[in-house]
Each structure stands twice: as C-alpha cells, then as structure tokens.
C-alpha cells in the first residue's frame, strides 16, 4: 500500500500462493538459466502474468495508470517488446517443451490430471510473418493465408491443459500429433492402462493411425470423414460384422 498498489490489476497478487505451490519461480529460473539477482526470470514472470490476465497488449501500453502489475513480476517497470524478444531469442523450442514437462509433472503430483481420456485439437491464427510458407484456408470459405499453428492436448475429465506445441503453416497434423502425445506421455502416469485420445477427422490419416497402433502407448478415437468413397465402403460391410 505504501507504493499505492491499487486498481483491478491488484488481483494478480492473488495468484502468488499458487505460484509458490507450483514452484513457478524455480521453473522459470531453470528455463532462463539466470541467477536470482538477474532480470531474465522476472521478465519471464511478466509473460506468465500477462497470460493469467487473459489480455494482450500490456507491453504496448508501456505504462499503466494503476500500479501493482509490475511489482508482482518483481520489477519496477513494464518490460518493453524488445526486452521480451531478446529474452525469447536466447532460448529454443526444446527449452520451452522441457519447461512444460517439468510443470506438468508437478501438476500430475497434485492430481490435476486423470489421464484416462485426452483430447487433442489444433488451432490456427493468421500469421503476418514475412517468411515464405504455405498458405492455408482457416475456414472453408476464407482465402488462403499464412497461418501460425498451435496443437493442444487436454485432460478431458479434469478439463485441464497438459501441454501444447506450435508450428508454422507448413507442418501437418500427422507430423505434429506424435510430438505432442510424446510430451504428454512424459507428464502422465499411465499405471498400466492405455489412455484414449479423442480427435477430429483431421487426424484420420494412415500414417497417424499406424503410429498410434505400432509405436504409441495410446488408443485413438477419431471420426471418419464423410466422403462418398468411405460411405460406399461402409455400406459394403455385412451387418453381422457390427454385432
């Protein structure tokens, strides 16, 4: 209160007990590789707290009329875009995946995941990258555009996120799905059973089904596309085969 901490952003301080319980500081410190007195871990904490507010553009405003957010990050200021970009440039995607796995294992010990039924789903947002990359349609009637892809894996029973990956528009679901399911396997405790993975018909590919059957610890439930050729094949199956 001596620093006049006030306003709606003071709610971020209510997350401090959860950060302590999950060991957020130690996780981010291990990811950044910086000592306690250095700024990198605090910059990473700002990224985490921005996501907790479910907003974007905190850094674009540069200043806030209500104080408290920056202090929750351990900083006397709001970090600039360039500072955040320099921080992220120093680390690889593999570093971020290891951070997710470490956090996921902690959450697993707290019982956040049931681990019996998983849901996987890709999400795509328009990318303004200047790189050359394939253009895809986000919707059936939309124009082809550059897309940034994210692939999520969630626990269907607890409705909690387990892990996610990101990729350029050139990567297919068949290529990305084994990676995210391998990450989930490092987090969850299967205890001798095979989790059921649910996905949409975008995941109905021969290569992915073969990988699930031959090289993964999962079962996969995926709908068949409603193509005329598939309908004809189903109609040719004898009724006795369904009993």
Q: Are residues 65 and 118 in the same domain?
A: no
Q: Are residues 153 and 215 in the same domain?
A: yes
Q: Are residues 19 and 85 in the same domain?
A: yes
CA proximity to 22, closest of 95, 98, 96, 104 = 104
Q: Are residues 119 and 84 in the same domain?
A: no
Token pair, residue 166, equals: 């990101």
Half-sphere exposure of 219 (CA within 13 A, CB side): 9
Q: Are residues 85 and 116 in the same domain?
A: no
pTM for the model stands at 0.84
Is 147 domain-assigned?
yes
Residue 1: what pLDDT?
47
What is the signed CA dihedral for 191, 100, 98, 201, rounded to 10 degrees? 70
Q: What is the β-pairing status of strands 147-155 and 117-126?
A: antiparallel
CA proximity to 138, closest of 169, 164, 180 = 169
- CA 30 from centre of chain: 19
Residue 154: what pLDDT?
97
Q: Are residues 130 and 62 in the same domain?
A: no
Is 98 domain-assigned?
no
Residues 66-109: tens digit of each pLDDT = 567 888 888 888 888 889 999 999 999 999 999 999 999 999 99
Range(s) of the domain holding residue 59: 8-89
Token pair, residue 79, equals: 């970090």
For residue 183, the domain's CATH number is 3.30.420.10
Q: Are residues 85 and 28 in the same domain?
A: yes
Element (H, E) at 158: none
Helices (H), the chain: 16-22, 24-32, 40-52, 58-61, 69-72, 81-89, 93-109, 173-187, 206-215, 228-235
DSSP 3-state assignment of 187?
helix
Q: Are residues 216 and 127 in the same domain?
A: yes
Residues 139-178: tens digit of each pLDDT = 778 888 888 889 999 999 999 999 999 987 778 899 999 9
Is 235 domain-assigned?
no
Residues 114-148: tens digit of each pLDDT = 999 999 999 888 887 788 877 877 777 888 888 88
Q: Are residues 73 and 165 in the same domain?
A: no
Q: Are residues 135 and 217 in the same domain?
A: yes
Question: Which residues, in sequence order, are bridge partners of residue 119?
Answer: 154, 198
Q: Are residues 153 and 189 in the same domain?
A: yes
Distance between the two ends of the chain, CA-based, in angstroms? Answer: 70
- CB count within 10 Å of CB 213 equals 11
Is 202 domain-assigned?
yes
Number of domains in the chain: 2
Q: Are residues 151 and 74 in the same domain?
A: no
CA proximity to 165, closest of 156, 178, 152 = 152
């Amino acid at each position: 209160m001596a620093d006049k901490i006030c306003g709606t952003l003071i709610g971020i301080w209510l997350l401090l007990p959860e950060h302590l319980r999950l060991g957020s500081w130690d996780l981010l410190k291990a990811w950044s590789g910086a000592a306690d007195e250095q700024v990198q871990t605090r910059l990473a904490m700002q990224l985490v707290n921005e996501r907790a507010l479910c907003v974007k553009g905190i850094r674009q405003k540069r200043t806030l009329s209500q104080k408290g957010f920056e202090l929750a990050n351990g900083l006397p200021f709001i970090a600039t875009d360039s500072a955040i970009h320099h921080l992220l440039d120093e680390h690889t995607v593999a570093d971020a995946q290891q951070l997710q796995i470490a956090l996921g294992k902690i959450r697993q010990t707290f019982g956040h995941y049931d681990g019996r039924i998983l849901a996987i789903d890709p999400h795509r947002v328009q990318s303004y990258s200047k790189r050359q990359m394939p253009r895809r349609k986000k919707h059936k009637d939309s124009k082809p555009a550059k897309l940034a892809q994210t692939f999520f894996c969630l626990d269907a029973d607890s409705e909690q996120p387990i892990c996610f990956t990101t990729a350029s528009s050139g990567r297919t679901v068949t290529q990305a799905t084994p990676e995210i399911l391998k990450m989930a396997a490092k987090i969850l405790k299967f205890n001798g059973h095979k989790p059921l993975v649910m996905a949409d018909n975008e995941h109905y590919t021969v290569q992915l089904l073969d990988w699930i059957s031959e090289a993964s610890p999962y079962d996969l439930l995926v709908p068949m596309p409603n193509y005329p050729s598939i309908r004809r094949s189903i109609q040719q199956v004898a009724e006795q085969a369904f009993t």
